[in-house]
């Protein structure tokens, strides 16, 4: 099966499995999504969703968050890991949003990437899920599956993003990146399948005999 044929099959199969993939992080608006995505670094979405109700009860907008102490944020988000860095970033980015953007989250990926604690992936998620702009954020699941499915060599998440954007129509990106995440969690996890047993891996590579070693994101 050629790469373009694999891509077409994968998109069709994921549309069947996840016709309307929900956004996994619970949020109310662009600000709460931004904070939730920042918290999700090296943390599960499930854990983030357990922590954010208490955090957003304390402050659910940039103005309010800019006035709380880093220690208050730290005490709440500690279960998410990297709490010293994340609490500092949340308070400081809130101050920047108030000072430079009237408390709003900028609808601009370059501006988002200048905020403390916000890298390209986080900015891409916000552009996609908060504002609806086509983006293809690459997380560990997407990076792993792109390699198992022969869509990218996995040299870097930057390369994986470029390869996937080249293979799939722009209008599919926002749903597709969520669909791949859900499929990776449910059918092709890191410690299972190894490119041999899930439906998509077997269909794309029916003659594959050896487990696929993938590069980490």
Residues forming the active site: 121, 139
Nearest by Cα to 87 from 108, 58, 109: 58
| Measured distance CA(178)–CA(182) in Å, rounded | 6
> What is the SS3 assignment for 96?
helix
Q: Write out the DSSP string of 160-212.
A: HHHHHHHHS-GGGHHHHHHHHHHHHHHTS-TTTTTTSSSHHHHHH-TT--SPP
CB contact set of 126 (below 8 Å; sequence gap of 6+): 30, 33, 34, 37, 105, 112
| Measured distance CA(54)–CA(60) in Å, rounded | 10
- Distances in whole angstroms, Cα of residue 106 to Cα of each of 62, 110, 120, 213: 12, 9, 14, 39
């Amino acid at each position: 099966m050629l790469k373009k044929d694999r891509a077409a099959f994968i998109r069709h199969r994921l549309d069947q499995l996840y016709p309307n993939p929900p956004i996994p992080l619970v949020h109310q608006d662009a600000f709460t999504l931004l904070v939730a995505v920042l918290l999700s670094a090296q943390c599960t979405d499930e854990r983030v969703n357990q922590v954010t109700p208490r955090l957003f009860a304390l402050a659910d907008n940039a103005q309010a968050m800019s006035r709380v102490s880093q220690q208050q944020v730290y005490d709440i988000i500690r279960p998410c890991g990297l709490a010293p860095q994340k609490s500092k970033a949340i308070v400081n980015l809130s101050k920047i949003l108030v000072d430079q953007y009237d408390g709003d989250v900028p609808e601009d990926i370059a501006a988002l990437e200048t905020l403390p604690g916000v890298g390209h992936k986080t900015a891409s998620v916000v552009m996609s899920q908060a504002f609806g702009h086509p983006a293809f954020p690459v997380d560990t699941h997407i990076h792993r599956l792109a390699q198992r499915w022969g869509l990218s060599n996995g040299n870097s998440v930057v390369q994986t993003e470029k390869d996937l954007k080249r293979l799939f129509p722009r209008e599919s990106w926002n749903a597709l990146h969520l669909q791949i995440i859900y499929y990776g969690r449910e059918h092709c996890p890191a410690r299972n399948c190894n490119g041999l047993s899930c439906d998509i891996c077997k269909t794309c590579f029916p003659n594959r005999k050896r487990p696929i070693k993938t590069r980490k994101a």
